[in-house]
């Protein structure tokens, strides 16, 4: 599927081909600009885009066998999310064409960074208040899991 086919696929849901084309263009532009700036773009259930730096290295010219210096560079990387992987592998069934296959964003996640920061601060304050009464899940729990895996093998 190319970009024109993608626009055609969502045109009826967006109210027209021009609105769909604009939406696709704006989404792709926002992803590209964020990755170029070094930010990570994560879409829940779909995947994440990020900028990866590759160090300078030596490679071999396959024709001559000569050693060639390759400059350091940055490349984009996409990692598929678990929901996407499950759909492609067949672990989960693809919903009907009228339903959305990628999970919607959690409630409140689209309100902006300030709301997320406030929630995180409130959560920290709540854990500080609970103090010693909090349930501990530390290395002891991990050790039990590790020993149970060994016994199964």
pLDDT tens digits for 97-141? Answer: 766 667 666 666 555 555 555 556 666 666 555 555 445 555 555
H or E, element range at 96: none
Whether the predicted pLDDT of 36 surpasses 90: yes
Domain ranges of the chain: 1-39, 44-122
Whether the predicted pLDDT of 13 surpasses 50: yes
Report pLDDT for 113.
Answer: 54
Edge-to-edge strands, sheet with 41-43: 41-43, 47-54, 73-80
Report pLDDT for 15.
Answer: 86
Report pLDDT for 153.
Answer: 44
Residue 49 banded pLDDT, cuts 50, 70, 90: very high
Report pLDDT for 54.
Answer: 95
Report pLDDT for 91.
Answer: 87
Report pLDDT for 121.
Answer: 61
Burial class of residue 10, CB neighbours in 10 A (0-12, 13-18, 19+): middle
- The CATH code of domain 44-122 reads 4.10.520
pLDDT tens digits for 59-81? Answer: 999 999 999 999 999 999 999 99
In angstroms, the CA 18 to CA 47 distance is: 26
Higher pLDDT, 6 or 109: 6
């Amino acid at each position: 599927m190319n970009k024109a086919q993608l626009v055609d696929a969502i045109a009826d849901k967006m109210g027209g081909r021009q609105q769909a084309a604009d939406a696709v263009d704006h989404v792709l532009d926002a992803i590209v600009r964020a990755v170029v700036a070094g930010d990570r773009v994560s879409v829940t259930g779909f995947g994440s885009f990020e900028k990866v730096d590759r160090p300078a290295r030596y490679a071999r010219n396959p024709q001559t066998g000569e050693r060639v210096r390759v400059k350091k560079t940055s490349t984009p990387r996409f990692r598929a999310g678990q929901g996407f992987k499950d759909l492609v592998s067949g672990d989960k069934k693809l919903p009907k064409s009228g339903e959305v296959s990628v999970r919607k964003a959690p409630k409140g996640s689209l309100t902006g960074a300030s709301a997320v920061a406030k929630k995180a601060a409130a959560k920290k304050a709540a854990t500080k208040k609970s103090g010693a009464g909090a349930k501990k899940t530390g290395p002891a729990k991990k050790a039990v899991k590790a020993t149970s895996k060994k016994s199964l093998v």
